Structure 1
Amino acid sequence: MRIEDEDGVRTITFDRPNVMNAMNLEVAQELAEAVAEADPVEHDAVVITGDDPAFSAGGDIMAMKEREEGPREAYERVAETFNRAAAEMLNCDVPIVAKVNGDCVGAGLALVAAADFAYTVPDATFSCAFIRVGLIPDTAATFTLPRLVGLRTAKRLTFTGEFFDGAEAAEMDLVNEAVPEEDLDEAVDEIVGKLSRRPTRTIGMTKQAMHENLDNDWRKALDYENMVQVQAYMSDEHEEGVDAFLEGRDAEWD
């Protein structure tokens, strides 16, 4: 895995092209740590992508074959690797963009679902392939997929493990857009540019309020929204935003 910080953007690249960027435990842990270290003071966005020709083929099947463990060890392994990576992504105060440059299967698809934005090439192959090896979806897919694509579509994808392409992924809202391969970098750069012109800490507060309120009734949702809005009202970002508006200039966020 490669981690590069440049111009306020942290780019995380899966770097196992010989196995279609399949993730073993070490890679999942590295991903979790790289996301956890993203800081809204230093970073405007995190971009996750793969070294060509794939985004990620998901979990490393060979590593699964060689694994010997009991139920407790299995629980701790999943919790501290793939599911920790998803938790860090869902909890990250810096917005995360998935740049799907190629095939995206299993845990790879789940990471895309956990991202805040996702762009893909039309001919990338997607599959929620856990069922094909006798597993339920993990990496938070049982939480994210039904909320993104709807319950029945999520059941179809996870029960069958069917394959579909990037254009279909866009149609079902798994990704924001499918763009030609030569335009993928530009599409990701465009959304990252928009994010960089907004206050990152406020984006993080918005993200956390949305995630917290996914399962709240409207009364609890409003109460939580009130609480987070108070934090926003007290922030330097709000003060700068108001001053910039009244002075007729662009805001200058830290």
Structure 2
Amino acid sequence: MSARPLPPAPPRRVSTWLLAGAIVALVVASFASLQLQWSAFFSPDALAVTTEFLAGFTPPETSPAFLRKTALAAAETLSMSAIGTLLAVAGGMALAIAGAGRLGKVQRVLARGLLNVLRSIPELVWASLLLVAAGLGPFAGTLALAAHTSGVLGRLFADALENADPHPEATLLTNGAAPAAAFLYATMPQTLPQMLSYTLYRWENNIRAAAVLGVVGAGGLGQMLKFHLSLFQMQNAATVIIAMLLLVALVDAASFALRRALTR
């Protein structure tokens, strides 16, 4: 029995070739305009200065008092990311319901616009703005994480709700169930695993962001790192960097394990 011939390849549209050409032209123009000096970057002088700079980080500071201080800052960073993510889940879910069009077309446009604004402003900019109102410390950093992440999670949650199968909820409504009950028992179970996966992934990102937010005075490991680097205390800064790496690795492993448990 002879094998069936393969179907012909779909024709390439002109728009596809135009888009590919525009991307290639953008990449070429980017390299041409940036004036990257690769030879200077890999020159012997640059390598010697870099080696000398990195040697200043060794050995890391391991005194008990400093390790205790670093552990407290790591706990503060972890708390900022966790509370910021929880606040973002609440805010994002509230906006996602309207953004999915469940409250009307006007509310959908307004909610989507607000979500675009929230996620378009980076965490560092949010922190710089909120530091004026809330003052230095982790409170401003937590609110900055919550504001930006609300925009990200709200968009993802809204898309998940829009893509959910509407038939189970319609069936419950036809049989006399209240709209809220139909939503909670028919639509939410479909989207909940996906929403939890999004939340855990954003929590991983917020750990890194919380460590960076301290650079602008939002507390945690980032504030410690900025302080010691500004005083050229490289060995202390090395300990803080190692704490950052360990914290991110720990949260990544915990988040990966939770996502695997949810998808089984």
| Higher relative contact order (CA closer than 8 Å, sequence separation 6+) | 2
Structure with bigger gyration radius: 2
Q: Which structure is higher in helix share? A: 2
Q: Which structure is higher in strand share? A: 1
Q: TM-score range by the shorter chain?
A: under 0.3
TM-score by length of 1: 0.26
